Every structure is written in C-alpha cells, then in structure tokens.
Chain A
Amino acid sequence: MDGTTAKVDPALDELLAACKAGDQAAYAALYERYAAGLYRLAYSILLDVQDAEDVLQEAFIYAFRNLDHFDPARGEFRTWLYTITVSRCRNMRRRKLLPTVDLSNLLALGQEPPGPHRETPEAALARSQVRDALGRALAALSPRLREAVALRYGQGLTFREMAEVLDCPPKTAESRIRLAHEALSRALGPSGAGLLEELWSF
C-alpha cells in the first residue's frame, strides 16, 4: 500500500472477526456486502454470465478459507477481494481462451443504467445507441484494458488501487486507461463521438 494507511471500517472489522469466529451469519453478510460488485467486475472482464458466476463462487470460497491471509496493513479488504477476483478471471480466461463474445447477451444484461432526469426521446435514443456502440467497443478491448476499465469506472478505484490489484506500477494502470480510451474512441468512430458529444457536451 506504499506506506499509506488503509481506511478503517469498524463494521467490516467486526464482520471479519465474526467470520473468523465461525459465525455463519457473518459469512452471509460479507457475501451480501461485496457479491454484486465482484460479480460486475468478473462479468465486465469475462463478458459471460456463467463464467462470472463461477468466478464469483471461486473467489468467495477462496476468500473465506483464507481470511487469515488478509492483512489490513497492506490494503483494503475490497482491494484484496478484487485481487482474488481478477486473478480468478485470468485463470478462467486461460482455461477457456474466450474465443468469442455473445453481444446480445452482453448488451441485454443487467438493469438499464439510469439516464438524466427528464431525458428527451432524442436523448434517450442517442443514449441507447451509445450504449450499444460502447458495449461492442468494450468487447473488442484486450482483456488487460478491459480489466483496467472495469476497475476504474466500474468499481471506482484510483490508479494506485488499480496498480495494487493488477500488480503493476500506477503509471501502468494509468497508461492502460489511456490506451483503453484511445481504443474505445477508435471503435466508436466519428458517429459514436458525435453521439457522446450530443449526450455530454454541457
């Protein structure tokens, strides 16, 4: 953690202590607290529902069995979970080599992101088109760049936290985001850029 102090979360500390004491409800509470975020991370990287579920299960079983290995002095608990999840995603990718991505599956998943209030029909159409184009562009990214996008934008990690999870220098994490931006911009093309401008230029 480069000398920085991990954030203190008393509720989490109690939860972890209860888990270590064998409290079954604490395990379920820990799962409930982090499962959705970890699933989104796994899905954003793997783009496959079944694989994301498998990774989520593997990651939690591993985490539960190795709670003693978590060292709060070295980083936040969620970062530790992200590290486990990304590692499991890489293993899964290696096992399957993910030849193709089912775009219909990709784009239909999850709840619809909330749009701005009082969105006009034109803006809603533009947003839908951007989301479709962005979904295709994300699927075309290399796995490493998709990991970076998922951690930065999907989980809100800083470059330093990303570096911790991805086991790389912060500069590398930053450059992966920059490369991802370039690749996404290229994939979106002029029409996608025009739609983005229509949506966000204010």
Chain B
Amino acid sequence: MNGHVTRWLTAYLHGELPPHLRERVSRHVRECDECYAALRRERELARELGDSMPVFGAPRNEQLARVLSGILAEAGNHQGMAAFRMPRAGVVLLLSLLLVLLPALVMPRAAAVSAPDQPAPYMIAATATQSSTDAPTGFVVASPTAIAARQPLPTEPPAVNPSPAPVVDETLPY
C-alpha cells in the first residue's frame, strides 16, 4: 500500500499531530497491516517507557538529604541563605574595587625599581632652596611644601579607574 504513515506514528501516539494528519493516520492504519503493526510496536514501547521512566533512577531520601546539606553548606560559606540573593551588582562592585586597588598595591614597589618620573618644573624650582645631603646623588627631592602645592597637570591620567563592564554569564538559560 502506498503512502505509509510510519514517520507520523510517534507524534500520533503522543497526540501531537494536527487534526488533518491525525485523521489521515487513523484512516491509513485501519487499512494497512504494515503500518498497523508498526503502530502497535510503537504503542507498546511508548507504554513501557511511560510506565518505567517516571520511576527510573528515583533517588533515595538520604541522597536528597545529602545534596541538600551540600547546598546549605555552600550557602553557609556565604553566611546563610541570603547569600543566594546576593545581587550581581555586589560582585561587580567587588571586582571593580579589586581592579582599582590592585595597581595601588603592586605598583609602588614596581615604581621604586624603575626610572623616576620626569620632575616637573615646579619641583626643580623648589630644589633650588634645598640643601639635603641625604638624597642620593643624581636625585632631587621636592620639599613638603612644594609637593603640597603641587596641582594636577592637565596631561596627567585620570585618577579614577573606570569600572569594568558587568560580566555576563553565557550559560544563563534566559
């Protein structure tokens, strides 16, 4: 018999066919032994799966309790369930602070072993009245009043580190 409907039998069994196709399959399997036998096999398999899968791998209570305690422990590491509600903005703020503070913690030591900054003209002017013998040869030290009087130069980089863009978790289902 032509026009077998085997490709639609699964959807037919699951009630997911549009009405016109459903009618066509119903009509066909009444007349076609081959498709009728296929439908019976499909139905028997679907019934068995529908019977066994809902309890397949059912967990024991102690398993669920173990997992729950793991979840609670994770929450405990963050000081309670409220940690689950920690806003993402808090994480971003923390990262921003780290990014701002990290150079401040690392750079002074790095700056000490690298070449000194080019002295600004007002610093050179201030050393004209200074007679320090403690300063290493070749270095000029500005007086405290000169440093206090120092104004930011227009060419200096901005003092504020811009915050990084929020991290987007690509695994989010939505």
Chain A residues in the interface with B (C-beta under 8 A) = 19-20, 22, 24, 27-28, 31, 35-36, 39-40, 43-44, 49, 52-53, 56-57, 60-61, 64-67, 69-71, 74, 80, 83-84, 87, 91, 109-114, 130-131, 134, 138, 149-150, 152-154, 156, 158-159, 174, 177-178, 181, 184-185, 188, 193, 196-197, 199-201
Q: How large is the interface on B (under 10, 10 to 19, 20 to 34, 35 or more residues)?
A: 35 or more
24 A-B pairs (CB sep. < 8 Å): A36-B58, A39-B57, A39-B67, A40-B59, A44-B53, A56-B67, A57-B67, A57-B74, A64-B75, A69-B174, A70-B174, A71-B174, A153-B50, A153-B52, A153-B54, A154-B54, A158-B16, A159-B11, A159-B14, A159-B16, A184-B45, A185-B45, A193-B44, A201-B40
Among B40, B49, B66, which residue has its beta carbon within 8 angstroms of that of A53? B66
Is B58's CB under 8 angstroms from A134's CB?
no
Q: Which residues of B contact A111 (CB under 8 A)?
A: 55, 58
Is B49's CB under 8 angstroms from A178's CB?
no
Question: What does the 1/0 interface line of B78-102 toward A look like (CB < 8 Å)?
Answer: 0011101110000000000000000
Q: Is the interface of B mostly helix, strand, loop or mixed?
A: helix
Q: Is the interface of A mostly helix, strand, loop or mixed?
A: helix
CA distance A165 to B114 in the complex (A): 57
Interchain nearest-CB distance for B78 vs A (Å)? 9
Chain B residues in the interface with A (C-beta under 8 A) = 7, 9-11, 14, 16, 40-59, 63-64, 66-68, 70-71, 74-75, 80-82, 84-86, 171-174
Given contacts A84-B173, A153-B49, contact A185 B41 (CB under 8 A): yes
Q: Which residues of B contact A177 (CB under 8 A)?
A: 10, 14
Interchain nearest-CB distance for B22 vs A (Å)? 14
Give the nearest-CB partner of A184 in chain B.
Answer: B45
